[in-house]
Amino acid sequence: MSRKNRNKINGSFTVLEDIMTDSAPWKDLSIHARYLYFEIKKKWAGHDNRRNIIFTQKEAKNIMAIDTFVKSRNKLIESGFIDVIERGGLFKQPAIYGLTNRWEKYGTKDFIKVDIKKIFPEIYKTKFKKGHKFMGNRFKKKEHL
């Protein structure tokens, strides 16, 4: 085998830096959050779209349960590994995420803390049931005599 062919890499690869994987915020993440970060970074693939990574709920359903995805995504945002550039959901729009380096200042006074409740208000987390009073529900239960 020639030397030229031996050093050739087939396919793509995703790099996780040692300084990041040895950090305290990375060690605080669950295995699901780490895997989600890997999947989001894999979509980045080193192009100029570091702040324009589209990750849909359909893609999330393929790798983990939706509740696990939401918890893992929120933990990644709180720890400073990703940011939400645009929140999706309305008219089936995908969410747009961005990779950040806020995790480097985690635990210091310079760390920029993001409030998840402002990004994802509680109203979007509520699962409504039939007859639930929401915005003047006009389909009320009828009382029979």
Q: What is the pLDDT of residue 15?
A: 85
How much helix, strand and coil, in percent to the nearest 5, is found in the chain?
Answer: 45, 10, 50
Q: What is the pLDDT of residue 116?
A: 84
Identify which of 36, 37, 38, 85 has the alpha carbon closest to the alpha carbon of residue 63: 36
Q: What is the pLDDT of residue 119?
A: 81
CA distances from 10 to 13, 38, 40, 45, 57 (A): 9, 19, 21, 15, 30
Q: Which domains does the chain have, with CATH numbers?
A: 15-124 (1.10.10)
Q: Which two tokens stand for residue 51?
A: 């702040």
CA distances from 97 to 24, 46, 77, 84, 124 (A): 22, 15, 10, 5, 18
Rounded to two decimals, the pTM is 0.76
Rounded Cα distance, 46 and 13, in Å: 10
Q: List per-residue pLDDT tens for the chain, 145 residues long.
A: 556 666 677 777 888 899 999 999 999 999 999 999 999 999 887 777 788 899 888 899 999 999 999 999 999 999 999 999 988 877 778 889 999 999 999 999 999 998 888 887 665 455 555 555 555 555 555 566 5
Rounded Cα distance, 133 and 140, in Å: 8
Rounded Cα distance, 57 and 41, in Å: 16
Q: What is the pLDDT of residue 79?
A: 95
Q: Which two tokens stand for residue 74?
A: 């929120």
